[in-house]
Amino acid sequence: MTLVAGRRRPRSRLLLVAAGLFAVAAILAVAALVPRGSSSPARVSPGDPDAQAAQLPPAPKAAFKIGAPVPLARHRDETTWAAVRDDVVARAAPSRSARAVGTLRALTPEATTNIVLPLARRHLWVKVRLPALPNGTTGWVPRAALGAYGTVRTRVIVDVAKRRLTLLKDGRAVLRVPVGVGAPDAPTPRGQFVVRNILTRFSSKFYGPIALGTSARSETLTDWPGGGYVGIHGTDEPGLIPGAVSHGCIRLRNADIVRLARELPIGTPLTIR
């Protein structure tokens, strides 16, 4: 086979041609990025933030719009309660410099978590009713001293004169039972309180199968162990109910206290009138 030899081009000329083609391609690519009819962007001074911001592309549209906050609707018979996280000094006003009116403990005398009912809120302070004498004492505590809020739709009303307990659920009476109340020398205190715990397994039958601890305190038996707190409990003498027979506590027949405890959550407000 015979090969026909041609003139071989120098290698340097080929490299120059390739470089020229690459430069042309680069210029065409840049030109494609510049919108038609627009001139070259003005050079921006590094010290001019307004001019720099003007060169930025427009912000993309939001995927969704966050509306104004709307408070959740509350049930008319709903009550808010909170657990106490730490021992804290309660103040007469929502300020650490205000006069101290008492100490709110994290634990009850039965070593269960203390429960309070918030009455008002101001900034980072909460007004609560203290389990202290005189009954009805209120004070302000830092919100950080309380745990998360809980809610209930139950309420217990004890009518001392009629010697009757009524349990309301969503504003409707679901239980009415006779009770024993305090004798004349140790009356059951009146006021607004809260059910703080449910206790069982007593060594004595005196309290029946269940007792509900409350924030109410006897105003006469102040030297009792734990401070004379009023409970709602069963009894080993059901024949004394109804009557004014206790040291201030509210006694129910055992079947009634079992049913009450089944329907009543912790944090339920208690009205004694």
The larger pLDDT score, comparing residue 10 to residue 182, is at 182
CATH 2.40.440.10 fits 154-272, yes or no: yes
Which residue in the list 75, 123, 233, 247 is annotated as catalytic?
233
Q: Which tokens is 36 given? A: 């038609």
Is residue 249 part of the annotated active site? The answer reads yes
| pLDDT tens profile 164-207 | 999 999 999 999 999 999 999 999 999 999 999 999 988 889 99
For the question of whether the overall pTM of this predicted structure is more than 0.85, the answer is no
Contact assessment for residue 213 and residue 195, using Cβ atoms and an 8 Å cutoff? yes
| pLDDT tens profile 118-130 | 999 999 999 999 9
Map residue 52 onto helix, strand or coil.
Answer: helix
The larger pLDDT score, comparing residue 72 to residue 152, is at 152
Model pLDDT, residue 74? 79
Which class is domain 79-152?
A: mainly beta
Mean of pLDDT values over 216-232: 89
DSSP 164-228: EEEEEETTEEEEEEE-EEE-TTSPPPPEEEEEEEEEE--SSGGG-SEEEEEEEE-SS-TTSGGG-
Q: Which tokens is 131 given? A: 């389990």
Domain segments of the chain as ranges: 79-152, 154-272
Q: Which tokens is 167 given? A: 């349990």
C-alpha 210/C-alpha 72 separation (Å) is 36
Phi-psi sector, 191: left (phi>0), alpha (psi -120 to 50), beta:
left
Model pLDDT, residue 25? 57
**CA nearest to 131, candidates 119, 116, 113, 146:** 116
Is residue 233 part of the annotated active site? The answer reads yes
C-alpha 146/C-alpha 136 separation (Å) is 20
